């Protein structure tokens, strides 16, 4: 036997997760020896809605190792019965019946429809299934897609596989001694999000020598890539801020390594840049005083300028904004405003369903 669940999952929340887990346990309790799937989740989306494929993919990934089958119903369907006929709008129910029957896995024996919605009993009747209600008052988990879209509930209510579509990866970028590290930490504190330090600095300091060699650069490529990957794991935070990244390493290859184009580390960095795509680079201008440091090699001055790094961003076609304020406080406010606007630009926020 298989239970059917219909949801829009806009976005997929831990409430949806609990519903599906409950349904799987319910069917397993009735017939523990029944074959796959215990539960079939139909993610219903319409062409005009935002993030349709992402919703389906997130739920599929979340339940990929369970007895749950997730399918995607993507078509225009009426969301409410015709008010002239109300619940007896036969055309409304007929359209949904045909659409859902077409989704059903041919080798499964459907027995139950499980839902938290008012339409559940009637839809179950139309499909010839037994209706089983689940947490209709949201007493177990008060997590709703509407509340998340309206930002009444935060990312902790969203399943991890969908969080990545909302979280923004921000790289602080630019020449040496332009305030990247300080600003990365400040933004992390302000937005309660991870601030990933420059891996190359940690590595070179651990060697006890600031010398940059070909071998050191190749190690930096791998270390930086690992930091980027690990820091992008699911979490409840809206951002991840990076103090430099692999594109920064490419820039330093060009500054320090004469025959960089034939270097294996450089080629590996180029490969990484094919999949490493932050949402935004914030370029820190060099209009603040230079601060000498053992790991700065410009003999008391910067070895590159802002134009060098902007040219690099444009060569790799990466989105960026130049932070123009020379005052650190104003620069932080400017950066914070930019990243907040970027986060709020997701099409799912405040989306109103028909």
Question: pLDDT digits over 154-196, tens only?
Answer: 899 999 999 989 999 999 999 887 889 999 999 999 999 999 9
Do 62 and 160 contact (CB within 8 A), yes or no? yes
Top mean pLDDT of 188-192, 210-214, 286-290 is at: 188-192
CA atoms within 13 Å, Cβ hemisphere of 108: 22
Domain boundaries, the chain: 2-160, 167-344
pLDDT value, residue 209: 66
Mean pLDDT within 59-70: 94
Under CATH, what is the fold of the domain 167-344?
A: Rossmann fold (3.40.50)
**Each residue of 338-353: b (16+ CB within 10 Å) or e?**
ebeebbeebebeebee
Pick 14 or 293 by higher pLDDT: 14
Average per-residue pLDDT for the chain: 90
Do 143 and 13 contact (CB within 8 A), yes or no? yes
288 Rama sector, left if φ>0, alpha if ψ -120 to 50, beta otherwise: beta
Instruction: Choose among 36, 12, 10, 13: nearest CA to 24.
Output: 36
How far is it, in rounded angstroms, from Cα 219 to Cα 225?
Answer: 10
How far is it, in rounded angstroms, from Cα 281 to Cα 328?
Answer: 18
The pTM for the full model equals 0.84
Strand partners, 169: 240
Instruction: Choose among 2, 75, 17, 6: nearest CA to 42.
Output: 6
Structurally, what CATH architecture does the domain formed by 2-160 represent?
A: 3-Layer(aba) Sandwich (3.40)
Examine the pLDDT at 142 and tell me if it is beyond 90. Answer: no
Do 282 and 173 contact (CB within 8 A), yes or no? yes
Do 155 and 237 contact (CB within 8 A), yes or no? yes
Pick 99 or 137 by higher pLDDT: 99
Mean pLDDT within 293-318: 78
Examine the pLDDT at 85 and tell me if it is beyond 80. Answer: no
| Element (DSSP H or E) covering residue 168 | strand 168-173
Lowest mean pLDDT among 111-120, 162-171, 230-239: 230-239
pLDDT value, residue 296: 47
How far is it, in rounded angstroms, from Cα 146 to Cα 247?
Answer: 38
pLDDT tier at 234, thresholds 50, 70, 90: low
pLDDT tier at 289, thresholds 50, 70, 90: low
Instruction: Choose among 273, 301, 305: nearest CA to 289.
Output: 301
Mean pLDDT within 250-259: 92
Mean pLDDT within 91-116: 94
Instruction: Mark out the alpha helices in 128-195 (DSSP H runs).
Output: 145-149, 160-166, 180-190
How far is it, in rounded angstroms, from Cα 142 to Cα 140?
Answer: 7
> What long-range pairs does 108-111 form, CB within 8 A, spacing at least 24?
108/2, 108/37, 108/40, 108/69, 109/1, 109/2, 110/1, 110/2, 110/3, 110/4, 110/40, 111/1, 111/2, 111/3
Pick 14 or 80 by higher pLDDT: 14
CA distances from 56 to 9, 155, 166 (A): 8, 18, 15
Indicate if 167-344 has the same CATH topology as 2-160.
yes
């Amino acid at each position: 036997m298989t239970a059917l669940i219909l949801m829009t999952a806009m976005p997929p929340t831990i409430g949806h997760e609990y519903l599906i887990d409950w349904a799987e346990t319910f069917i397993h309790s009735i017939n523990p020896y029944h074959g796959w799937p215990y539960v079939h989740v139909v993610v219903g989306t319409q062409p005009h809605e935002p993030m349709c494929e992402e919703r389906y993919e997130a739920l599929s990934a979340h339940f990929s190792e369970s007895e749950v089958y997730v399918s995607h119903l993507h078509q225009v369907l009426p969301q409410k019965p015709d008010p002239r006929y109300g619940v007896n709008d036969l055309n409304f129910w007929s359209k949904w019946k045909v659409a859902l029957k077409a989704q059903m896995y041919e080798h499964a024996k459907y027995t139950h429809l499980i839902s938290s919605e008012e339409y559940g009993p009637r839809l179950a009747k139309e499909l010839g299934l037994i209706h089983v209600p689940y947490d209709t008052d949201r007493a177990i988990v008060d997590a709703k897609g509407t509340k998340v879209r309206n930002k009444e509930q935060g990312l902790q209510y969203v399943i991890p596989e969908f969080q990545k579509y909302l979280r923004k990866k921000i790289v602080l970028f630019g020449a040496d001694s332009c305030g990247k590290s300080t600003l990365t930490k400040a933004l992390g504190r302000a937005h309660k999000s991870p601030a990933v330090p420059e891996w190359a600095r940690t590595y070179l300091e651990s060697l006890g020598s600031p010398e940059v060699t070909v071998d050191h650069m190749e190690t930096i490529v791998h270390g930086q890539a690992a930091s980027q990957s690990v820091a992008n794991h699911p979490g409840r935070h809206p951002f991840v801020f990076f103090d430099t990244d692999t594109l920064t390493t490419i820039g330093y290859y060009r500054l320090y390594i004469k025959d960089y184009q034939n270097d294996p580390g450089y080629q590996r960095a180029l490969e990484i840049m094919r999949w490493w795509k932050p949402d935004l680079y914030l370029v820190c201008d060099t209009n603040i005083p230079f601060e000498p440091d053992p790991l700065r090699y410009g003999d008391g001055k910067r070895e590159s300028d802002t134009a060098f790094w902007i040219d690099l961003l444009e060569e790799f076609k990466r989105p960026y904004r130049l932070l123009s304020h020379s005052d650190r406080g104003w620069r932080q406010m400017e950066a914070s405003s930019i990243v907040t606007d970027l986060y709020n630009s997701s099409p799912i926020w405040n989306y109103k369903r028909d």
